[in-house]
Amino acid sequence: EAAVTQSPRNKVTVTGGNVTLSCRQTNSHNYMYWYRQDTGHGLRLIHYSYGAGNLQIGDVPDGYKATRTTQEDFFLLLELASPSQTSLYFCASSEDGDTQYFGPGTRLLVL
Amino acid sequence: GDSVTQTEGLVTLTKGLPVMLNCTYQTTYSPFLFWYVQHLNEAPKLLLKSSTDNKRTEHQGFYATLHKSSSSFHLQKSSVQLSDSALYFCALSGNNYAQGLTFGLGTRVSVFP
């Protein structure tokens, strides 16, 4: 089964803080995704990528940047964190855009 | 845009009973539907998927049939177990599946002895 890891697993920051969430997949999948999960909203797509250097905007991109530095690594950046970004963040990867494999998630609390 | 509707937020039932979780969708493209299951403090995992009209797909005792005529992909199981307690998401890939999935809000299933 595909392996997707995320770090950190938990993060606390203050309003206006700078946060980077990391995701690595070791299966050379082409596609990688960042989602946030909130009660009452389900999972919502923030950004995604087709490959190294590629970046696509998802459904809820405001306040987030992302970078795909290699085939394996996909980062989500919050440069001025706000309390509304308190959430559970999942990274996922997919070989062809079909089945997505999710990482364990990162819990972010913005005070 | 694409949308997925799951009508039940919470389903509670006794072990051994059948369950059906509703999922309907809207898209103007040819749909690819998924069911993901998320156990407590775990990542979502794929349970079922289908893009074939009127064909039943099964996995781990769960089954679903995509009906394009009614835009539905309901999840069923004939006899639930305690280990089936989890959050179940229906998801849609419409326009271009590589563009990520559109998820429903999820249905939490709680199974009691």
pLDDT-above-70 percentage for chain B? 96
Say if CB A55 and CB A68 are below 8 A apart: yes
Cross-chain residue pair B43–A102, CB shorter than 8 Å: yes
DSSP of B96-110 = -GGG-PEE---EEEE
d(CA B16, CA A93): 35
pLDDT top residue among A27 and A49 = A49
d(CA A19, CA A89): 12
Q: Is the pLDDT of residue B66 over 90?
A: yes
Q: Is B31 an interface residue toward A (CB < 8 Å)? A: no
Q: Is the pLDDT of residue A37 over 70?
A: yes
pLDDT band at residue A111 under the 50/70/90 scheme: very high
pLDDT band at residue A106 under the 50/70/90 scheme: very high
Q: Is the pLDDT of residue A21 over 90?
A: yes
What are the respective helix, strand and coil percentages of chain A, to the nearest 5?
A: 5, 50, 45
Give residue B75's pLDDT. Answer: 98
Q: Which domains, ranges and CATH numbers included, belong to chain B?
A: 3-112 (2.60.40.10)
Cross-chain residue pair B43–A31, CB shorter than 8 Å: no
**Average pLDDT over chain A, rounded to an integer:** 93
Q: Which residue of A lies nearest to B103 if distances are taken between CA atoms?
A: A43
Please state the rounded mean pLDDT for residues B40-62: 94
Q: Is A31 an interface residue toward B (CB < 8 Å)? A: yes
pLDDT top residue among A98 and B27 = B27
Give residue B99's pLDDT. Answer: 75
Q: Which of B46, B49, B105 sits opposite A42 (nearest CB)?
A: B105
Please state the rounded mean pLDDT for residues B34-57: 94
Model pLDDT for residues A54-69, shown as the tens digit of each residue:
999 998 999 999 999 9
Please state the rounded mean pLDDT for residues B72-84: 97
Contacts of B53 (CB under 8 A, 6+ apart): B66, B67, B68, B69
Q: Is the pLDDT of residue A2 over 90?
A: no
Residues from chain A that touch B102, judged by Cβ atoms under 8 A, are 45, 59
Q: Is the pLDDT of residue B96 over 70?
A: no
Q: Is the pLDDT of residue A28 over 90?
A: no
Number of H helices, E strands in chain B: 0, 12
